[in-house]
Amino acid sequence: MTIVYSAKKIITMNPSRPITTHVAVRDGKILGTGDLDELHKWGEFELDNSFENKIIMPGFVEGHAHTMEGTLWRYVYCGFFDRTDPDGNTWEGAKTIDTVVERLIKADKKIKDPNAPLSGWQLDPIYMNNKRVSRKDLDKVSETRPIGILHASGHIMNVNSKALELGGLMKTGINHPGIPLGKDGYPTGELYGPDAMTPIGIHVGFNRSMTDSDKDGLVAFGKLCVRTGVTTVTDLAARLTEEGVEAMLQITGEKNYPTRVVPLKVFLGATPKETIELVKSLKKKSTDRLRLGRIKAVADGSIQGFSARMRWPGYHNGAPNGLWYTAPDQLSELYELALVAGIQVHTHTNGDEATEMALDMLEGALKKHASPDHRFTLQHCQLADAAQFRRMKKLEMCVNLFANHHYYWGDEHYKLTVGPDRALRMNACKTALNTGVPMAIHSDAPVTPLGPLFTAWCAVNRLTASGRVQGEEERITIEDAMYAITLGAAYTLHMDGEVGSLETGKSADFAILEEDPYLCAPDELKNIKVWGTMQGGRIFDAKTL
Amino acid sequence: MNGANSIPVTIISGYLGAGKTTLVNNALRKANGLKLAILVNEFGNLAIDEDLIISQDENMISLAGGCICCSYGNDMLLSLKELTSLDSKPDHIILEASGVAIPSSIERSISLIDDCYTESIVSIVDSEQIQDQLSNKYVSDTVLAQIESADLIFANKIDLIMDKKSLLSWIKNHYLLNKAIMVSHSDVELDVLLGANRQPGVLRDTSQGIKVNHANIFWSKVFIPNDFVDPIEFSKSLTQQNMHLVRAKGHLRGIDGNMYLLQTVGHRYYVDIADNEKKLGLVLIGTTETENLDVLKINLKKYGDFIY
């Protein structure tokens, strides 16, 4: 059966017919676009006018997110900024530590078992004049149950005394850079880095499978996608255990699961050869809504955590250079084997030395195994300079820049981590486009909220949280930003032939909007309301999820 | 100090291709009754004879003789914690760090776990590659940090080096000599790698060492301390550079009359209260780099004497 949907305006991203009024859908695919007369030529159809006052765009593609955001929402939201949960409730940002504590006390009262852990997430003291949270603040919530709050960066955690006690760290004499001590010689309750977080994390609900999304988490994440117009989303560093894959297959296979999920197997704890073999076999398990068969490698750490690898002159505040998470030789071996096997690799690089290293390793691998259209993609790639973008172009790479990061931590980078010059070029969208590097932009949810229109707003305006425009030369147009969150991201996944634009034969994936992003003022882009989505011909109304 | 039941952990560090996995394989082959737990980043090239494997799942291989191998993937500390809480506790844990890990930060993390302690950091380097690696623009600082935080450095693949003299003098110029030991094929006596795990009475003078390919030859001697020795002062003497000792381990009676366990490796030493029933005596391990044993005897005279 064919259904023709009318809309106030349909933005297709199809160069042959960029704007139209109707779209015909059959068998979950787009049969055609145009006016009613043209679509009549396909024969009988049912006309559906439910969207006649809406704007239809290709469903958004989020090229770098983590489905664990769905899991985190069962914990207490402690973030500074307002944020909407999977059920559509907007949580007001907690502006002070007292508010965070009050919120935790409320949650504490709801848990009957006095020893059960209480977990929170997305705390960020940077916005609270950098006032540190201590275990004593959290002891006000409870002295009997362990409490842990994960920071927005994911690299720091605050815990109470009970949690320290359960993890065996409520003692004096600890000598560890990740565990600051108070005047009394006991840990303050702030834990930096995975090594300090792990022994305590298991007692406060954050364990090793934290980055995996469980079934409920995946369902919740699907709802967030609908609310933000996303119809194809990556899970960019999945462990993909046998169990995990089975769960993902089951959930995404359910009749009403609204999103196409693209999990990338993280390259960790297995040799390049083993990883390639595993991903080759996973690829065969792919379904329409679960796309397996790609690899994510991690070259370095994070800039604000000072673990990113920097070229000269290094960190602005003089911090020592960061760490390699993957050895150059190992990355090189992975690239070579992946090119031969036809498996795509996305590589996390934050510092410019990490980007340089990945470029060198891929260049070497490509000289041995020339592979047209490999589309290997650098993820984050926040500090790349113009010359590095030129090399990406030469090596036929793609880039997915972290536009949201600029808003949330741009001020910190300007003042502290990299200094003014390099802060201006962070996430250089304009340079990428001018150089001709295929580009996407991303949220890295849950690090920042999922929401391609917000991500587009970040790239278009380059505002920081304090309201400064940082790097005005790197701002891009609304048109370029909208391309980046649809076809741009689809291209980095080799999926631009099936999603990212509304063209005959492609999946009927729509973002259904209340307003026209092309006609709004650039600073209004993030306020555009999403009605819901269509995915594979199925309609999802955000209000009735 | 470490509790009596605390499990020693030896961290094996080194860049890719240095020979870490071969070293671990060799240790397993030589375990000889010692219950080793091996923690590796990935099973990868771990060559375990199939007939030795009793059971295997995704993260753990159990071997005949009580040894086990675990892969820790992204969670080294949690795996370590699980190892220390096993019913059948291992005698010694060997942790093979990833090729880009900085062992001193692993050591700090291990300090957060009760029931185990870092016994030593061993860094293994590829003697053919090390000079290139230390001038490589990406990994030089990482490799240098691995060497600098090591208690012992194994200069591996020494058989491939034509001009051993110049390599040796290069190492001497860059690192303290008593830390660097020349080996080939990652072939190291278990006592050198992990410290002497046997009682002095059982150990024989093992001067046969490794004689292949010009590698260093180790010797071990049993030293019987006088009664009432200050364990800290004695440890400091043993770890002085001019002693050229690789390791020392054993028991002595302190000034306060208590029995102490003393362990040294390179410049590192541990002193711990021990069971009063322990037999007095230490095993000292050195290499043929120790030019004159008499010097050693004279320096240690005030603390006791060698029995062999």
Q: How far A296 CA sits from the closest chain B CA (Å)? A: 14
Task: Identify the band that residue A80 occupies on the pLDDT scale cut at 50, 70 and 90.
Answer: very high
- Residues B38 and B165 placed together within one structural domain of the fold: yes
pLDDT at B143 exceeding the cut of 70: yes
Classified as helix, coil or strand, A5 is strand
Q: Cα separation of A509 and A60, whole Å? A: 8
> What residues does B68 pair with on adjacent strands?
B37, B62
- Residues B114 and B232 placed together within one structural domain of the fold: no
Structural domain containing residue B42:
7-194
Domain boundary among B159, B194, B229: B194
Task: Identify the band that residue B179 occupies on the pLDDT scale cut at 50, 70 and 90.
Answer: confident
pLDDT at B206 exceeding the cut of 70: no
Q: Cα separation of B180 and A343, whole Å? A: 42
In a domain, B199, yes or no: no
In a domain, B1, yes or no: no
How many domains does chain B fold into? 2
CB A389 within 8 A of CB A412: no
Domain-by-domain residue ranges, chain A? 69-209, 213-498
- The 8-class DSSP code of residue A177 comes to T
Instruction: Mention every residue, 6+ apart, whose C-beta is less than 8 A from residue B206.
Output: B189, B191, B218, B219, B220
Query: Cα angle at A360 between A354 and A361, to 5 degrees?
Result: 90
Residue A357: list chain B partners with CB under 8 A: 138
Which chain A residue's Cα is nearest to B145?
A323
- Residues B231 and B272 placed together within one structural domain of the fold: yes
| Contact B60/A at CB under 8 A | no
Do B138 and A328 count as a contact with CB atoms less than 8 A apart? Answer: yes
Q: What's A427-466 look like in SS3?
A: CCHHHHHHHCCCEEECCCCCCCCCCHHHHHHHHHHCECCC
Report which of A322, A328, A324, A326 is spatially closest to residue A303, judged by C-alpha positions: A322
Which chain B residue's Cα is nearest to A312?
B137
In a domain, B77, yes or no: yes
Do B139 and A324 count as a contact with CB atoms less than 8 A apart? Answer: yes
- Residues B250 and B132 placed together within one structural domain of the fold: no
Residue A457 CB: number of other CB atoms within 10 A?
26
Instruction: Mention every residue, 6+ apart, whose C-beta is less than 8 A from residue B110.
Output: B9, B11, B77, B80, B95, B116, B117, B118
ipTM: 0.89
Do A174 and B112 count as a contact with CB atoms less than 8 A apart? Answer: yes
Which chain B residue's Cα is nearest to A329?
B16
Average pLDDT over residues A221-248: 95
| Contact B134/A at CB under 8 A | no
- Residues B154 and B250 placed together within one structural domain of the fold: no
- Residues B181 and B246 placed together within one structural domain of the fold: no
Query: CB-CB: which of B73, B112, B139 is closest to A169?
Result: B112
Which chain B residue's Cα is nearest to A187?
B112
pLDDT tens track for B22-52: 999 999 888 888 999 999 988 877 877 777 7
Domain boundary among B162, B194, B226: B194
CATH class of the domain whose range is A69-209: alpha beta
Do B77 and A328 count as a contact with CB atoms less than 8 A apart? Answer: no
Q: What is the CATH number of the domain that holds B28?
A: 3.40.50.300
- Residues B43 and B188 placed together within one structural domain of the fold: yes
Domain boundary among B194, B229, B252: B194
B60-63 vs B53-56, strand pairing mode = antiparallel
Compare B214 and A175 and report the one with higher pLDDT: A175
Q: What is the CATH number of the domain that holds B231?
A: 3.30.1220
- Residues B30 and B135 placed together within one structural domain of the fold: yes
Average pLDDT over residues A512-530: 97
Do B74 and A328 count as a contact with CB atoms less than 8 A apart? Answer: no
Residue B100: list chain A partners with CB under 8 A: 323-327
Structure-block tokens of residue A275 = 């990883």
CB A60 within 8 A of CB A74: no
pLDDT at B291 exceeding the cut of 70: no
CB A327 within 8 A of CB B15: yes
Classified as helix, coil or strand, A331 is helix
- Residues B28 and B145 placed together within one structural domain of the fold: yes
Do A323 and B16 count as a contact with CB atoms less than 8 A apart? Answer: no
| Contact B4/A at CB under 8 A | no
Quote the distance between the C-alpha of residue A395 and its chain's center. Answer: 25
Q: Cα separation of B219 and B221, whole Å? A: 7
Structure-block tokens of residue B174 = 């860059």
Please give the pLDDT value at position B170: 78
Q: Using beta carbons and an 8 Å cutoff, which residues of A are at the interface with B? A: 168-169, 174-179, 194-196, 198-199, 202, 207-208, 239, 241, 266, 268-271, 274, 309, 321, 323-330, 353, 357, 360
Instruction: Mention every residue, 6+ apart, whose C-beta is less than 8 A from residue B55.
Output: B61, B62
Highest mean pLDDT among A203-217, A352-366, B184-198: A352-366
Task: Identify the band that residue B199 occupies on the pLDDT scale cut at 50, 70 and 90.
Answer: very low
Residue B20: list chain A partners with CB under 8 A: none
Which chain A residue's Cα is nearest to B136?
A328
CB A103 within 8 A of CB A249: no
Highest mean pLDDT among A197-206, A447-456, B124-133: A447-456
Residue B111: list chain A partners with CB under 8 A: 174-176
Average pLDDT over residues A97-121: 95
User: In this complex, how many residue pairs, one in chain A and one in chain B, have their CB atoms less than 8 Å apart?
Assistant: 87
Residue B102: list chain A partners with CB under 8 A: 323
Classified as helix, coil or strand, A54 is coil
Give first-to-last CA distance, chain A, whole Å. 25
Q: Taking the C-alpha atoms of A378, A383, A389 and A392 in order, what is their torsion angle to the nearest 10 degrees?
A: -30
| Contact B102/A at CB under 8 A | yes
pLDDT at A10 exceeding the cut of 90: yes
What count of Cα atoms within 13 Å lies in the side-chain half-sphere of residue B130?
27
- Residues B96 and B240 placed together within one structural domain of the fold: no
User: According to CATH, what is the number of the domain A213-498?
Assistant: 3.20.20.140
Q: Return the sign of the alpha-carbon dihedral for residues B9, B10, B14, B18.
A: negative
Task: Give the residue from B77, B81, B132 with the most A CB atoms within 10 Å of its CB, the best one to mutate.
Answer: B77
Burial of residue A454 (CB within 10 Å: 0-12, 13-18, 19+) is: buried
CB A535 within 8 A of CB A59: yes
